[in-house]
Amino acid sequence: MKIQQMKVNYRYRAFLTTALLTMLGVILGGCNLLNGATAKVESQEGSTLSPLSKQSITHISWTMHQNLPVPQDAEMLKQIEEQFGVDVDIWNMENNKYESLLDMKLAQGSIPDLFRIRQPQDLLKYQQQGVLAEIPVKTLNDYAPNLMRIIHEQAPAYEKAGVIDGKYYGIPVINPTNIYRTPVVYRQDWLDKLGLPVPQTLAEFEKVIYAFTFDDPDGNGIQDTYGLSSEGMNVLFGAFGQIVFADQLYFGTKDGKKVIGALDPEMKEALAYLRKWYKDGVIDPEFVTGENKGGYKHLSHAFINGKIGMTSMGNYYHWIQDGDYEDWRADREGHLVKSPVQAAFNVKELTAKFPDARVVLGRPFAGPHGQRGSKGNDMLMSFTAIGADAVKEPGKLELILRILDEVSASPDPDKAASMTYGVQNKHWVWTPTEPRNIVIMPPYDTMFGYQNTIGANIGMTVPLKETGEREQWAATLHLDQDGIYNALEVATPALAKYGDSLIRLKNKAYIAFITGERPLSEFEEFVQEFMSAGGAEVVNEANALSHTQ
């Protein structure tokens, strides 16, 4: 079952003729949301803001967030194609390997027209490679007015995030649910069997992970369990104030300046714990390859398979258990009823293997200096850009923006819901009470990735506050507290140049420190290696950028 909240308190509708639109274009000429003005033009389905020939624009390549491939004949995709008279070519690239697959395409000379940049810090890299088109701000406001209005009203601090050297290259994708940090998850049934509480301090945590390893928590008489793996390590780093293991360099703030968390002297103290735990056999020896072994990227297979008893993987909604809260669902007759929610993702997979298994979400444990925290995912989730080749065809940029506006930010609540979830009364319905929520209908409510298979949700996330039952549940767990967020959400030239190699250098050194291949006495040497390999330039530019913002 999957029920999601849609914000419906805005009802902007404009029924504009081509002549009126032309006059408004003159009146609103120069209107710029990035400078604080609000565009008033809203496109009606099928309307045009300039004399575009749909027949002359027949092919648009499109990248998007995918858990499953989108069939070329997917019904919602065909609806968009028919509405706008286009052929949309969805590039089916596995989300786990998105960057490497995209870079391969780019190396072969193929550039997508609608360009999803999953890691915000990669915007500058792709702009420097010349594969992105500048998006004139007036064009953006004229042809994606609803999208830009929402960003202006709900996330004004991010409006200029996609500007490089005074030019606009990326539309910011702001995820409102990222106010909730990654959860800290334990096997509750293991804790109960061992008579241990959810740990609140580092000392209590250490006691728990040793018991998970040596006291046979699964009761099979074999020493085949461990306390934690790679994702749990960030909670230890958080107990010393920083985050280390991530897809990007994590910056913190110390004494008013931006610093790279992995270089913080207190990380040496954290590494001493991990080094001891690894030597004692408390850490899964396969931590180097990660907890996920393929497929949906938020699954911790090490946890699901009963190998570890603690993790901090995925988002809060990946750890819902049976009965955590009540939400709407459709019964066999299609009637809407409110009933206890069912387990999802990691918990669903876990209990399929171990029916008696239960999990508990705890607060990040406190370190010796009173610090605590788990990884927070940036509010700036990604960027949506336009490929460089798209602007070579007259009118194509404008058409792409019109489609993006339609599939991401329609002012009609019914239309917006359909663009995300599919056909009303077939794939979804509204709840009977206010605030109106989306209820996914059977059999789609139990189908993983059904939105991809029907070609829905090809747009970008917009920063409308989520207030559904699921998010209220997350708030009761205080997941909006104790998050450690990256203090640098966008790239600088030095970060674009050195970032990938610095991440590899950092990971290699940290793994060597944890496994004992390298003595901790060389931590300062590692810091010097890092700074000499471009880290000093990255830190200097990060601090220079903060002074200009």
Per-residue pLDDT at 47 exceeds 50: no
What is 90-151 written as a DSSP string?
E----GGGHHHHHHHHHHTT---SEEEESSGGGHHHHHHTT-B----HHHHHHHSHHHHHHH
466 pLDDT band, cuts 50/70/90, is: confident
* Domains held by the chain: number: 2
Asked if residue 333 and residue 194 are part of one domain, the reply reads yes
Confidence band, pLDDT 50/70/90 cuts, at residue 456: very high
Cα distance between residue 538 and residue 50, in whole Å: 44
- Encode pLDDT of 271-323 as tens digits: 999 999 999 999 999 999 999 999 899 999 999 999 999 999 999 999 999 99
**Are 203 and 121 in a shared domain?**
no
Can you tell me the mean pLDDT for 367-394?
A: 96
Looking at residue 95, its pLDDT comes to 87
Q: What CA–CA distance (Å, rounded) separates 360 from 189?
A: 9
Position 78 pLDDT exceeds 50: yes
Do 363 and 387 belong together in one domain? Answer: no
Check whether residue 327 and residue 395 sit in a common domain: no
**Residue 528 forms part of a structural domain:** yes
pLDDT above 90: residue 57 = no
Q: Which residues contact 237 (CB under 8 A, 6 or more apart)?
A: 243, 244, 245, 261, 267, 270
Strands 59-62 and 87-90: parallel
Do 371 and 384 lie in one domain? The reply is no
The alpha helices in 215-283, defined as continuous H runs, are: 230-238, 266-279
DSSP letter at 399?
A: H
Give the pLDDT confidence score for residue 547 in this predicted structure. 61
pLDDT at 4 over 50: no
Residue 246 is given by DSSP the state S
Look at residue 427 and tell me whether its pLDDT is greater than 90: yes
Is the model's pLDDT at 53 over the cut of 70? Answer: no
Residues forming a β-bridge with 361: 185
The answer to whether 476 touches 37, Cβ cutoff 8 Å, is no
For residue 326, is it within any domain?
A: yes
What pLDDT does 56 receive? 61
Whether 215 and 353 map to the same domain: the answer is: yes
Rounded mean pLDDT, 135-144: 98
Rounded to a whole number of angstroms, the distance between the first and last alpha carbons of the chain is: 43
Is residue 475 a part of any domain in this protein?
Answer: no
Is 467 within the bounds of a domain? no
- 172 and 195 in a single domain? The answer is no
Of the chain, the percentage scoring pLDDT greater than 90 comes to 83
CA distance 364 to 178: 17
Instruction: Identify the weakest region by mean pLDDT among 195-199, 211-215, 307-311, 325-329.
Output: 325-329
Q: Does 13 score more than 50 pLDDT?
A: no
- Rounded-to-integer distance, Cα 275 and Cα 321, Å: 33
Amino acid at 31: C
Q: Decide if pLDDT at 517 tops 90.
A: yes
Tokens of 386: 């336009």
User: What mean pLDDT do residues 85-103 have?
Assistant: 94
C-alpha to C-alpha distance for 242 and 259, rounded to whole angstroms: 10
301 lies in some domain: yes
% the chain with pLDDT above 70: 89
Reference 356, options 187, 516, 242; nearest CA is 187
pLDDT in tens, 106-137: 999 999 999 999 999 999 999 999 999 999 99
326 to each of 182, 335, 524, how far by Cα in Å? 22, 16, 52
Determine the pLDDT at residue 6: 35
The verdict on residue 469 lying in a domain is no
Task: Say yes or no: 151 and 192 in one domain.
Answer: no
CATH of the domain at 384: 3.40.190.10
pLDDT at 29 over 50: no
Contact 307, 294 (CB under 8 A): no
305 burial level (CB within 10 Å; 0-12, 13-18, 19+): middle
Cα R_g (the chain), whole angstroms: 25
Structural domain including 217 reads: 184-375+492-548
How far, in Å, CA of 213 to CA of 207, rounded?
A: 10
Two tokens, residue 258: 């931006």
Secondary structure class of 191 (helix, strand, coil): helix
Q: Which residue has the higher pLDDT, 1 or 171?
A: 171
Question: Do 313 and 298 form a contact (C-beta atoms < 8 A)?
Answer: yes
Q: Are 163 and 73 members of one domain?
A: yes
Same domain, 217 and 154: no
In this structure, are 321 and 274 located in the same domain?
A: yes
- Answer whether residue 332 shows pLDDT above 90: no
What is the arithmetic mean of pLDDT over 438-465? 95
User: What is the reported pLDDT for 393?
Assistant: 95
Mean per-residue pLDDT over the chain, rounded: 90
Average pLDDT over residues 199-222: 98
Please report whether residue 310 resides in a domain.
Answer: yes
State how far the Cα of 125 lies from the Cα of 40, in Å rounded to an integer.
34
Section 502-525 average pLDDT: 98
Q: What is the mean pLDDT of residues 68-75?
A: 96
**What is the DSSP code (8-state) at residue 427?**
T
Residues 148 and 37 occupy one common structural domain: yes
- Report if residue 266 sits inside a domain: yes
